[in-house]
Amino acid sequence: MAYIKKRDKRDGTASFTVMWRAGGARGRKQESEVFDDSGAAERFRDLVNGHGQRWPPGWVRGEGFIADLRRPESMFEPFALAYVDRLTGIQGDTRSK
Q: What is the mean pLDDT of residues 13-35?
A: 94
The number of distinct structural domains making up the chain is 1
Q: What is the mean pLDDT of residues 75-80?
A: 72
Of 17, 22, 18, 32, give the one whose Cα is nearest residue 52.
22
The pLDDT of residue 94 = 75
pLDDT in tens, 26-41: 889 999 999 999 999 9
Domain holding 51, by residue range, is: 3-96
The pLDDT of residue 55 = 92
The model's pTM is: 0.66
